């Protein structure tokens, strides 16, 4: 595989380091990392040539997304051509095992990371554990509610029995009283009619056929009421 199949950002970064003046940015002696020496000049004169911005922080953040390690160099000298080199205090170094000066084809192995990736492996088990815990909590809560409902049902049943037993005698007394009043109301007119109107409605011997009267009197069941009417 060649570097042409690597991410565009990585290809641009490689070209950037290759073409940038060494006093601004360059590869390390071994070519396994690169350093940015002059941040302000790098932002102003270099980044805009390859990217749509001139922000070192944004460039650095993109490198971290691709797995680059960022290290600030303090009082270390890079020796080149047998010289003592320059002071590197305040320099920033970036390194990735697959981003090397002499092996650009290895860039194809670099993949962009996202914030969710570190937790991707543990996410399913974590989600399962949380779900199981939530289900267990809901089951316990449901069991508690069922127990409370059962107790409440028993209390309502007991209270209903007490109220029923308390109200039943009064209901019986009320029914008996109402029945007595009804009987009294229905019997009074009959007694009055019997006493007051017996003579008025009594039939005379002349008005009733004697043959019919004799026939009726032959039956004991009919004789008593007829005699009561004066027949």
Enumerate the domain spans of the chain: 3-114, 198-228
**In a structure prediction context, what are the per-residue pLDDT tens digits for the chain, which is 231 residues long?**
445 589 999 999 999 999 999 999 999 999 999 999 999 999 999 999 999 999 999 999 999 999 999 998 754 445 555 555 555 667 999 999 999 999 999 999 999 987 654 554 445 555 566 677 778 888 888 888 999 999 999 999 888 888 888 777 666 666 667 766 666 665 555 445 555 554 454 545 555 556 555 655 555 555 555 555 555
Phi, psi of 92 (to 5 degrees): -115, 130
Q: Which pLDDT score is estimated for 1?
A: 41
> What does the pLDDT read at residue 51?
94
- pLDDT reported for residue 137: 82
Please report the pLDDT score of residue 75 as a whole number: 46
Q: How far apart are CA 2 and CA 191, in angstroms?
A: 129
Specify the pLDDT at position 210: 60
Sign of the alpha-carbon dihedral angle for 13, 15, 18, 24: negative
Distances (CA, A) of 86 to 16, 22, 24, 50: 21, 11, 12, 26
Whole-angstrom distance, CA of residue 141 vs CA of residue 135: 10
- How high is the pLDDT of residue 208? 52
Q: What is the CATH architecture assignment of 3-114?
A: Orthogonal Bundle (1.10)
């Amino acid at each position: 595989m060649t570097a042409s199949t690597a991410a565009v950002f990585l290809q641009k970064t490689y070209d950037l380091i290759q073409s940038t003046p060494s006093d601004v940015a360059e590869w390390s002696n071994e070519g396994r990392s690169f350093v940015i020496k002059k941040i302000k000049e790098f932002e102003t004169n270099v980044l805009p040539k390859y990217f749509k911005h001139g922000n070192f922080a944004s460039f650095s953040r993109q490198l971290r997304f691709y797995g680059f390690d960022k290290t600030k160099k303090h009082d270390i000298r890079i020796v080149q051509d047998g010289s003592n080199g320059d002071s590197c205090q305040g320099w920033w170094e970036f390194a990735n095992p697959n981003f090397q000066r002499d092996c650009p084809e290895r860039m194809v192995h670099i993949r962009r990371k996202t914030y969710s990736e570190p937790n991707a492996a543990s996410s399913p088990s974590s989600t399962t554990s949380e779900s199981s815990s939530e289900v267990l909590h809901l089951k316990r809560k449901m069991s508690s509610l069922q127990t409370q409902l059962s107790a409440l049902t028993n209390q309502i049943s007991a209270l209903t029995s007490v109220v029923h037993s308390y109200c039943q005698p009064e209901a019986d007394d009320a029914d008996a009283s109402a029945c007595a009043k009804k009987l009294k109301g229905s019997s009074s007119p009959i007694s009055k009619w019997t006493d007051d109107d017996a003579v008025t409605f009594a039939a005379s011997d002349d008005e009733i056929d004697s043959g019919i009267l004799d026939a009726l009197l032959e039956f004991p069941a009919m004789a008593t009421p007829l005699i009561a009417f004066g027949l």
